[in-house]
Amino acid sequence: MDFPFEMTGICVGVSDGDSLLLELPGGERVRVRLFGIDAPEKDQDFALPARKKLTRLVYDKQIRVEVQDMDKYGRYVGKVYAGALYVNRFMLKEGLAWLYRHYAAGDALLAEAESRARAAGRGIWASSAPLRPRKFRSNKGNAAKEGGDAGAARHSHG
């Protein structure tokens, strides 16, 4: 498969703040991961607002995806547009995702959007120490190895 390429379809599902399900014109459904951003995980602060915002922006709408790559889970990774709106950038601008620097190195548009949200204290940046989803996943995995909710029990206040 040669990248980049473009595809369009109707968004028929949003699983979190950086992933959606797209139905292509022939009826095939494909999973799409938004390029260059990492939204909060399910049990993390701002996960619900991020998913709700992405849903409002794309669900049941015609979406254009500039596919950049395919990830190890078989999802297309792309720049997502709802009309003229560059959705990936919008999610960063609203403080509902982190810039995925490793994958989006050199993307000045995305870097500027995150920088402005951070400076304004929007969304995740309102927290004094926002935890990147990658770190959250890592911590959650370590807690599971220690016996399920051991990490949660250690930090409970009651």
99 within 8 A of 91, measured Cβ to Cβ: no
Our answer to whether residue 29 is catalytic in this structure is no
Our answer to whether residue 51 is catalytic in this structure is no
Our answer to whether residue 33 is catalytic in this structure is yes
- Measured CA to CA, the distance from residue 67 to residue 49 in angstroms comes to 25
Dihedral class, residue 130 (left if φ above 0, else alpha if ψ from -120 to 50, else beta): beta
32 within 8 A of 80, measured Cβ to Cβ: yes
- Measured CA to CA, the distance from residue 114 to residue 98 in angstroms comes to 7
Please pick, among 64, 75, 101, 122, the residue that the annotation labels catalytic: 75
89 within 8 A of 35, measured Cβ to Cβ: no
List the one residue out of 108, 125, 107 whose CA is nearest residue 117.
125
- Indicate which residues carry an active-site annotation: 33, 41, 75
